[in-house]
Amino acid sequence: MVAQHPGWDIWHGAYAYIETGYHASILQGFDATNCTAHNATYPCFLPNLFITRAHLTKLVVLAGNYPPYTPPDPCLTCFTDVPPSYWAYVYIETAYHAGIINGYPDHIFMPNNNIRRDEMAQIVYEGIIHRP
C-alpha cells in the first residue's frame, strides 16, 4: 500500500489507485471549501463524486504526459464554451490538438457536464494511442 495522504479514506476500494495518481501528480484532492461543502474533513478526495468532461480530459493529458498546447491566438480556441480563462482551457486545447477529444457539433465541449461511460472510454482510448 502506498503512503497514506492525511484525511483520505484509506478504506475506500480505490485508495491505492487514488494515492498512486496523487503521487504521480495526476490526481489531486479538493480544497477546504469543497471538502466542507461535502461534509468532509480537509484534505479530501471525495471519490464517490461524478467527474466532468473537463476533469477527465485533464487527467488523460497529465497521465499521458502530453506537452501543454495553447493556441497562438486565443480567439482561435477550439470550443466556444471553453474560453482562455476557463481553468481547464490548456488541458482541453492540448487534448483537442493531440487528437484525444472532438467535442460536439457547433464547436462546443460542454466541459462541466458529467462524462458518460462511452465518452470516458473513447477519451481514455484516444489518450493511450496518441500518447507522445
Mean pLDDT for all residues in the chain: 87
Angle between helices 53-63 and 89-97 (to 10 degrees): 60
Report the C-alpha gap between 85 and 11 in whole angstroms: 37
- What are the pLDDT digits (tens) for 82-102? 999 999 999 999 999 999 999
Q: What is the pTM of this model?
A: 0.82
Query: pLDDT band for position 115 (50/70/90)?
Result: very high
Rounded to a whole number of angstroms, the CA Rg of the chain reads 16
C-alpha cell at 4: 497514506
- Collapsing DSSP to helix, strand or coil, 121 comes out as helix
